[in-house]
């Protein structure tokens, strides 16, 4: 029985790639230094999987930014503004597309399906001159081969690439991206021919869009594409990989009828209904890559249950045609449990990170071949039993309180218009009030202070004094810039979810459980293993201290329950909605304590609400019902004069705008600038929004500093569709990843633009 890994984390067990990238971007190291670190990481990954007994090992899953941008480079689909003149695409052009540069903005970034990973959205139109411009796929295949590892090169499938793209600026929104398929396929043929010449015998096309609700013409594009590629692919074993959800029946029928395809990969963790489709009919003589090991979470696999599933599939597809696989790329999990020295043994026994999942995949394959590792399976069964019976998992009082929530929809008693009037009387803000989203730059010194405090190298008094001094600097800077509603900059927080999880019961934390979010940005998701409650106040001390330093309104900064849920590794032994309600109750307690402490503006970030939206439309209503309800629970008890803000970033919001309105926040700040003001189109189409709203005026994920005129132009575009009395002026997102040398001039221009437009409005 063979085994397969869809993809693997690329950052390295200690974030080696992150530090190499940032050193290169800062000009502290060379391109050769970056390439050297990357080659060492790739070699380590390939050798690890080969050593674990994996037969089908992927290559070309390593990326300096993201795999869709890699495909854009391969196809030479570089927007003209980057001044690329052909030839092999180098780091300058590649990273300019990803991050922007001094003269031009970056391409749009959005979420990869329903994950916290991001990708750079291709910008396409009828005039794009596709050309084979990055030979990364074949170079990595050869690199692995030279190490004695024969891999499966992985490419983003041509149809998914186009379906994930958008019309470039100036191209009609109605332009059919699929009309570019013949041009794109011409380049794919060159790549495939290159791989064939290099000796590859298998090739993997990732076509995850097949799990979406696709119209018939989009499904037909898959048939057309692989029919066109069939002769070029002759001699290859071709695997089409899908993941993240059940595959719809019509898409399953299309996929299993494609020309020249040898194997099909399915997510059987999040796509349990796909099992029924397979059992109802699977093409004879084809391989089934069965994704039974979860690539999205960190819980140990239920090996006995997986064996049962695999044995049932053997009877359908045949023993020699079944391959044990992960449900998706392991990119979405932490790297290796071996690096976790501070997790207690009980919780650690319940977990499996990427390296452990590789072992699980191979153990399942060996067991199906008659070489079952009895000790490994016994230890797995014992760990599962321990987790199920552990008293630390269950808190009856929390479960009872969460169950009682279902009798109400938890809406504030007064409508938003009346609340905004009451708040304005108290806050006395100008038209177009300015604010930021929460965090300010996380300096080297600040990180050192937090690190030394955690390691008990400095006292609590020294820590409090250092953080207080940082807050004072951030407050003084905002007052100097004349920002209207201030933030304390979050110097005490390394991560917006981790900070709260550390203070809530039912959470566990890792030392090196890093997961890539985009580029060099990594997050360390907490692990929700049990019922959640708040033992004591979490932010009141710092928010009160910050408010004491200024007469201007100071926002209390909280992470909302849906975002804490979606940015954590969540327990899989109860519905996600139940866990979310528990978190909502904990945040509700914090909101009410902040209000009692005199904080009049409280921001409850729900950056990840859209991210968690299920991929199938039939499941949207249920998710939006409990997620929006969870947000309302957090602030239902506050006074009309307390202004509740929320923030959302880097997702497509237009399709859930009515649910966003239903959240009933007083003010929402939302990403807008990097997506070409896509958000504003929903208001042009007639959606009425009566609460305060701040569509972002500049992209904080790029080092580029926008001019006052550029920001003023954005504000004017907003005023064309939104009333001046509800519009706020703010960046797209928090500023923690930026430097003060970028933040100060950018915010100076933001305030100047707001004042300029205020003056024009007054005239």
Give the number of residues written for the chain: 763
- Strand locations in 198-252 (E): 202-206, 237-241
Residue range 728-737, pLDDT digits in tens: 999 998 999 8
Query: Does position 507 have pLDDT exceeding 60, yes or no?
Result: yes
Percent of the chain predicted with pLDDT > 70: 98
Residue range 427-445, pLDDT digits in tens: 999 999 999 999 999 989 9
Determine the Cα–Cα distance for residues 453 and 447; give it in Å rounded to an integer: 10
Residue range 236-258, pLDDT digits in tens: 999 999 999 999 999 999 999 99
Query: Does position 651 have pLDDT exceeding 60, yes or no?
Result: no
pLDDT (mean) for 604-608 = 93
pLDDT (mean) for 455-468 = 94
Q: In order of start, what are the domains of the chain with their CATH numbers?
A: 56-261 (3.20.20.210), 415-762 (3.20.20.210)
- The annotated binding site is made up of 18, 116, 437-439, 490, 521-522, 567, 605, 647, 649, 658, 662, 671, 733
pLDDT value, residue 678: 63
Residue range 131-179, pLDDT digits in tens: 999 999 999 999 999 999 999 999 999 999 999 999 999 999 899 999 9
Closest C-alpha to 512, from 758, 343, 728:
343
pLDDT-derived band at 657 (thresholds 50, 70, 90) equals: confident
Average pLDDT, the chain: 94
pLDDT-derived band at 223 (thresholds 50, 70, 90) equals: very high
- The annotated binding site for L-methionine is made up of 437-439, 490, 605
Determine the Cα–Cα distance for residues 114 and 566; give it in Å rounded to an integer: 9
Proportion of the chain in helix, strand, coil states, percent, rounded to 5: 45, 15, 40
Positive or negative, the CA dihedral 123, 129, 133, 137 is: positive
pLDDT value, residue 69: 98
Provide the annotated active-site residues: 701
pLDDT value, residue 406: 80
Q: Are strands 601-605 and 643-648 parallel, antiparallel or unpaired?
A: parallel
pLDDT value, residue 680: 73
pLDDT-derived band at 192 (thresholds 50, 70, 90) equals: very high
Least confident of 160-174, 303-317, 402-416: 402-416
pLDDT value, residue 81: 95
Residue range 358-383, pLDDT digits in tens: 999 999 999 999 999 999 999 999 99
Backbone phi and psi for residue 482, each to the nearest 5 degrees, phi listed first = 70, 40
- Specify whether the CB–CB gap between 672 and 732 falls below 8 A: yes
Instruction: Indicate the burial class of 609 (C-beta count within 10 angstroms; 0-12, 13-18, 19 or more).
Output: buried
Residue range 616-636, pLDDT digits in tens: 999 999 999 999 999 999 999
List, in sequence order, every residue forming a beta bridge with 238; answer none if it has no partner.
203
Determine the Cα–Cα distance for residues 109 and 518; give it in Å rounded to an integer: 9
Query: Does position 9 have pLDDT exceeding 60, yes or no?
Result: yes
Query: Does position 469 have pLDDT exceeding 70, yes or no?
Result: yes
pLDDT value, residue 687: 76
pLDDT value, residue 496: 80
pLDDT value, residue 554: 97
pLDDT value, residue 540: 97
- Which residues does 424 contact at the CB level (< 8 Å), separation at least 6? none
pLDDT-derived band at 45 (thresholds 50, 70, 90) equals: very high
pLDDT (mean) for 11-38 = 96
Query: Does position 686 have pLDDT exceeding 80, yes or no?
Result: no
Determine the Cα–Cα distance for residues 49 and 39; give it in Å rounded to an integer: 16
- The annotated binding site for Zn(2+) is made up of 647, 649, 658, 662, 671, 733
Backbone phi and psi for residue 318, each to the nearest 5 degrees, phi listed first = 95, 140
CA 412 to chain centroid: 31
Kindly state the tokens that stand for 4.
């397969």
More confident residue, 287 or 676: 287
List, in sequence order, every residue forming a beta bridge with 264; answer none if it has no partner.
240, 288
pLDDT (mean) for 89-93 = 97
pTM, two decimals, is 0.92
pLDDT-derived band at 722 (thresholds 50, 70, 90) equals: confident
pLDDT-derived band at 649 (thresholds 50, 70, 90) equals: confident
Least confident of 93-97, 212-216, 594-598, 701-705: 701-705
- Specify whether the CB–CB gap between 440 and 449 falls below 8 A: no
Q: Could you count the other beta carbons within 10 Å of the beta carbon of residue 33?
A: 13
Residue range 515-546, pLDDT digits in tens: 999 899 999 999 999 999 999 999 999 999 99
Q: Long-range contacts for 505-509 (Cβ within 8 Å, ≥24 apart)?
A: 505/395, 505/530, 505/531, 505/532, 505/533, 505/534, 505/535, 506/395, 506/530, 506/531, 506/532, 506/533, 506/582, 507/532, 507/568, 508/343, 508/347, 509/342, 509/343
């Amino acid at each position: 029985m063979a085994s397969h890994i869809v993809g693997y984390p690329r950052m390295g067990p200690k974030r080696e790639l992150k530090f190499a990238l940032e050193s290169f971007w800062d000009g502290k190291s060379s391109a050769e230094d970056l390439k050297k670190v990357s080659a060492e990481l790739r070699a380590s990954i390939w050798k690890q999987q080969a050593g674990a007994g994996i037969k089908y090992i992927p290559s070309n899953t390593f990326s300096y930014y993201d795999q869709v941008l890699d495909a854009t480079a391969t196809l030479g689909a570089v927007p003209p503004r980057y001044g690329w003149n052909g030839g092999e695409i180098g780091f300058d052009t590649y990273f300019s597309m990803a991050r922007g540069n001094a003269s031009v903005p970056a391409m749009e970034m959005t979420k990869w399906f329903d994950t916290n990973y991001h990708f750079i959205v291709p910008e396409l139109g009828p005039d794009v001159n596709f050309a084979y411009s990055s030979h990364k796929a074949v170079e990595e295949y050869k690199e692995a081969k030279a190490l004695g590892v024969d891999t499966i090169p992985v490419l983003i499938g041509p149809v998914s690439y186009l379906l994930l793209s958008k019309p470039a600026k100036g191209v009609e929104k109605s332009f059919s991206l699929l009309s570019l398929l013949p041009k794109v396929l011409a380049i794919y043929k060159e790549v495939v021919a290159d791989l064939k010449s290099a000796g590859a015998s298998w090739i993997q096309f990732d076509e995850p869009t097949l799990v979406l609700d696709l119209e018939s013409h989009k499904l037909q594009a898959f048939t057309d594409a692989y029919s066109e590629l069939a002769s070029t692919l002759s001699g290859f074993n071709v695997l089409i990989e899908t993941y993240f959800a059940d595959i719809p029946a019509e898409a399953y029928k299309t996929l299993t009828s494609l020309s020249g395809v040898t194997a099909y990969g399915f997510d059987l963790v999040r796509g349990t209904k796909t099992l029924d489709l397979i059992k109802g009919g699977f093409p004879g003589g084809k391989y089934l890559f069965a994704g039974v090991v979860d690539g999205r979470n960190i819980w140990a696999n239920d090996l006995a249950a997986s064996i049962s599933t695999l044995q049932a599939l053997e009877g359908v597809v045949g023993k020699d045609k079944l391959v044990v696989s992960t449900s998706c790329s392991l990119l979405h999990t932490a790297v290796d449990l071996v690096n976790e020295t501070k997790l207690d043994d009980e919780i650690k026994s319940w977990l499996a990170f990427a390296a452990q999942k590789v072992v699980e995949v191979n153990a399942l394959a060996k067991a199906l071949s008659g070489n079952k590792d009895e000790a490994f399976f016994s230890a797995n069964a014992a760990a599962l039993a321990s987790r199920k019976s552990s008293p630390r998992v269950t808190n009856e009082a929390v479960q009872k309180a969460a169950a009682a929530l279902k009798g109400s929809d938890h809406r504030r008693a007064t409508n938003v218009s009346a609340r905004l009037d009451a708040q304005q009387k108290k806050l006395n803000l100008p038209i177009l009030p300015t604010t930021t989203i929460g965090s300010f730059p996380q300096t080297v010194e600040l990180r050192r202070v937090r690190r030394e405090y955690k390691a008990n190298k400095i006292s609590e008094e020294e820590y409090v004094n250092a953080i207080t001094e940082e807050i004072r600097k951030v407050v003084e800077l905002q007052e100097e810039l004349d920002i209207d509603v201030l933030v304390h900059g979050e110097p005490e927080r390394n991560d917006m979810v981790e900070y709260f999880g550390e203070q809530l019961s039912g959470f566990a934390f890792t030392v090196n459980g890093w997961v890539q979010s985009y580029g060099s940005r990594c997050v360390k998701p907490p692990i929700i293993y049990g019922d959640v409650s708040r033992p004591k106040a979490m932010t009141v001390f710092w928010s009160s201290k910050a408010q004491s330093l200024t007469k201007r309104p100071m926002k209390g900064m909280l992470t909302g329950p849906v975002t804490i849920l979606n940015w954590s590794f969540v327990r899989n032994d109860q519905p996600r909605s139940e866990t979310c309600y528990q978190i909502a109750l904990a945040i509700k307690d914090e909101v009410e304590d902040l209000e009692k402490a005199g904080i009049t503006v409280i921001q409850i970030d729900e950056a990840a609400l859209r991210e968690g939206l299920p991929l199938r439309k039939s499941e949207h209503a249920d998710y939006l019902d409990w997620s929006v309800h969870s947000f309302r629970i957090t602030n239902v008890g506050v006074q009309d004069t307390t202004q509740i803000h929320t923030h959302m970033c880097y997702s497509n919001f237009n399709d859930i705008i009515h649910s966003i309105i239903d959240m009933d926040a007083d003010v929402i700040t939302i990403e807008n600038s990097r997506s070409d003001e896509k958000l504003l189109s929903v208001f042009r189409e007639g959606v009425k929004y009566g609460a305060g709203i701040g569509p972002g005026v500049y992209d904080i994920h790029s080092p580029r500093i926008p001019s006052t005129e550029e920001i003023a132009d954005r504000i004017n575009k907003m005023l064309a569709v939104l009333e001046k009395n509800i519009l706020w002026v703010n960046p797209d997102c928090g500023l923690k990843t930026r430097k003060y040398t970028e933040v100060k001039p950018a915010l100076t221009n933001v305030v100047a633009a707001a004042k300029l437009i205020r003056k024009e409005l007054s005239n």
